Structure 1
Amino acid sequence: MTAPTPVGQRRVAIAVNPTAGKGRARALGVRTGELLLAAGIEVLDVTSESAAEAADRAASAVASGIDALVVVGGDGMVNLGVNACAGTDTPLGIVAAGTGNDIAGSLGLPVHDIPAAVQTITGAHVRRIDAARRVDAAGQLGPGDGPQWFAGVLCGGFDAVVNERANGWAWPRGKMRYNLAIARELPLFKPLKYEIELDGELWNTEAMLVALGNGPSYGGGMHITPDADYDDGLLDVLVVGPISVLELLKVFPKVFKGTHTSHPAVTIKRARRVRLNTDGIVAYADGERFGPLPMELEVVPRSLGVLVPSVVA
């Protein structure tokens, strides 16, 4: 890992997910702003009740030349920041205040600790990490609305189906909604036929679950691609082959410790560029709806700056 580099800061933009942490993030965003102002940093608030408007405001602030973009919330809010900052010189500051904070946690950042997070931001040490982006056949940013970049994990199998089902329900909120979506989808889900291209090499397979990891974890501590490295210029492509529902129930809990990778149905390959194709799946990345398959993705090494402590384990 490359040592973080200190940079100067005078003016930052801050974006808050007002619903993260069951609404607590709004107050935490205010507290973050107060601490930044007390540190002598000018703060521009780009928060919005609309995710699309917040994304536009964040991107505009980065384009205007702010010294950093600070996001307050969970992985979804981090994804908004990644899409504003990736491919630019503007670093991303993360105040991890959501239900799932996988990206912050795996980068060694403070979680649910506002003063420590602000201290990290004001310390202004930047670590350049890889980020992955959607591309077209010519290698340009891919078509479509919504996110184009992700920093953590993209899911394109059973877990994506669960996300799509849960996001269609207004009630219940939080993890219970996802538990119910799992209960709804699990008895119905069958292995899908996938066409996966890894750096030009075609792999036709059947799978229950497919995940592309730039980072190691998602879903609030599930180490789905436990050996994924933010600095290696590669995606870890995990495939769980055809297994019974009962066997999937046995394997899935092991993702919290990352021990599922030893199961004979699990295969992990690595590639810089991946094309993923199957029928009827909408991919999710960093917990956010990313778009329907087919999709082509590539890692861009050191394309994202993240504000980190001066010493990272």
Structure 2
Amino acid sequence: MRAAIVYNPSKMDRDTLAPQIESAQPLDWSEPFWIETDADDAGEAAVRTALEQGVDLLLVAGGDGTVRVAADAATGARVPLAIIPAGTGNLLARNLGIDVTNLRNAVQTAFDGEEREIDLGELEIEAPDGTRSKHAFAVMVGFGLDAEMIDKTDEDLKKKVGWLAYVDAAGRVISSLDKVRVHVRLDGGRTVRSTVNTMLIGNCGTVTNGIIILPDAAVDDGMLDIALVRPRGVRGWLQLSGYIARNNMLVTKLLRRRGHLGRQRTGAALGYGQAKETQARLEEPRAVQVDGDVVGEAIALRAGIRQDALVVRVPKEHARDAGPAV
């Protein structure tokens, strides 16, 4: 048995990670491959090189961008993916219950955790000039507040204060955020027209700092969860804040996990939906984010789901947990 360790040197130092790998790896395993990512390709070449070695386990130490690239590549190889959170958001790790605060625990999970099959999303966007591009996503994509916030986040500030840099960016963009008319179609049904300032399509529901945005999302249910954020005036923003606050209360999380709550209801400020495929056409172009990375502007997008596409290592207590972490 042999593991490959793909690491982003700007996020994780090998000298810090190596002792943890050495103490957690089974004694009868061979010496692991160590492969450093290249900033020019977000880790794609490193992951491809690792999988070409015919390894039994792929460990990825980096941020959400590196994890997303690795997840997409690992689906074809069916090699278990183990995440060593080393970014700001660590979104997929949070949704899988992997410890994002303790390196030793995360590495231990990589070797002795249980395997779990999860879904992977796929997004196709059409740019204003008509060109199209495809992107895999493990957590969430969207346009509006989240994409503008990510686009305006100061990278130097993020290195200093972490996720608090997103709060700073949100404060700067929320007052100038324009609404856009969007035509949405779920699973080939009728087209719904709505005026929104944010649209989210998620495979998972938990974002930065553990905040639940899509309470019904499950990483292995074969469905995408959709949210149309459409507050009107101060009252609408207060309603939206109330929805999110209630969804993040400990009691609400526990009741939902135990099956005592039904599906999240749609309100005037926030509409929810579920589908295997989602299509949307915007009347004006907007920046689109994929798992925390802005990938360009779009006037149309299509999102689908690859069910049970990825095998991941998770803590044993989360191996069969379909809901968000409490």
TM-score band w.r.t. shorter chain:
0.7 to 0.9
Note if 1:14 corresponds to 2:19: no
Deviation at 1:242, TM superposition (A): 4.1
Q: What does residue 101 of structure 1 align with?
A: 90
Aligned letter for 2:287?
Answer: V
Q: What does residue 177 of structure 1 align with?
A: 165
Q: What does residue 276 of structure 1 align with?
A: 280
Q: Match for 2:297 among 292, 297, 306?
A: 292
* Contact residue 231 and residue 270 of structure 2 kept, 8 A: no
Report the aligned-residue RMSD: 2.9
Distance (Å, rounded) in 1 between the aligned partners of 2:155 and 2:100: 27
Q: Match for 1:230 among 210, 219, 223?
A: 219
Give CA-to-partner distance per residue, 1:89-120, whole Å, 9 cap, x none: 11110122333233222212233233332222
Give CA-to-partner distance per residue, 1:23-55, whole Å, 9 cap, x none: x65554334443355643431122235151622
Which 10-residue stretch deviates more, 189-198 or 237-246?
A: 237-246
Q: What does residue 258 of structure 2 align with?
A: none
Give CA-to-partner distance per residue, 1:35-87, whole Å, 9 cap, x none: 35564343112223515162211123224422121112343332232122124
Matches within 5 A, 1:205-224: 205-224=194-213
TM-score by length of 2: 0.78
Aligned residues: 293
Distance (Å, rounded) in 1 between the aligned partners of 2:166 and 2:292: 12
Note if 1:78 corresponds to 2:67: yes
Deviation at 1:135, TM superposition (A): 4.5
Q: What does residue 266 of structure 1 align with?
A: 270
* Contact residue 156 and residue 284 of structure 1 kept, 8 A: yes
* Contact residue 211 and residue 248 of structure 2 kept, 8 A: no
Give CA-to-partner distance per residue, 1:209-267, whole Å, 9 cap, x none: 21111111112212110110112111000111242257436634753652696653111
Distance (Å, rounded) in 2 between the aligned partners of 1:136 and 1:185: 23
Q: What does residue 34 of structure 1 align with?
A: 22
Distance (Å, rounded) in 2 between the aligned partners of 1:288 and 1:119: 28
Pair 218,124 (structure 1): closer, same or farther in 2 beyond 3 Å: closer
Pair 47,255 (structure 1): closer, same or farther in 2 beyond 3 Å: farther
Aligned letter for 1:280?
Answer: P
Deviation at 1:165, TM superposition (A): 2.0
Q: What does residue 4 of structure 1 align with?
A: none
Note if 1:149 corresponds to 2:154: no
Which 10-residue stretch deviates more, 182-191 or 245-254?
A: 245-254
Aligned letter for 1:284?
Answer: Q
* Contact residue 17 and residue 26 of structure 1 kept, 8 A: no
Aligned letter for 1:34?
Answer: E
- Structure 1's unaligned 5+ residue stretches are 1-9
**Percent of aligned pairs with the same amino acid:** 26
* Contact residue 120 and residue 306 of structure 2 kept, 8 A: yes
Aligned letter for 2:163?
Answer: K
Q: Secondary structure at the match of 1:280?
A: strand
- Structure 2's unaligned 5+ residue stretches are 250-263, 322-326
Q: What does residue 122 of structure 1 align with?
A: 111
* Contact residue 199 and residue 274 of structure 1 kept, 8 A: yes
Deviation at 1:129, TM superposition (A): 0.7
Q: Match for 1:305 among 311, 314, 321?
A: 311
* Contact residue 154 and residue 213 of structure 1 kept, 8 A: yes
Note if 1:194 corresponds to 2:182: yes
Q: Secondary structure at the match of 2:204?
A: coil
Aligned letter for 2:55?
Answer: I
Which 10-residue stretch deviates more, 228-237 or 43-52?
A: 43-52
Q: What does residue 101 of structure 2 align with?
A: 112
Which 10-residue stretch deviates more, 60-69 or 37-46?
A: 37-46
Which 10-residue stretch deviates more, 155-164 or 61-70?
A: 61-70
Q: Secondary structure at the match of 1:131?
A: strand
Aligned letter for 2:114?
Answer: H
TM-score by length of 1: 0.81
Aligned letter for 1:299?
Answer: I
Aligned letter for 2:303?
Answer: L
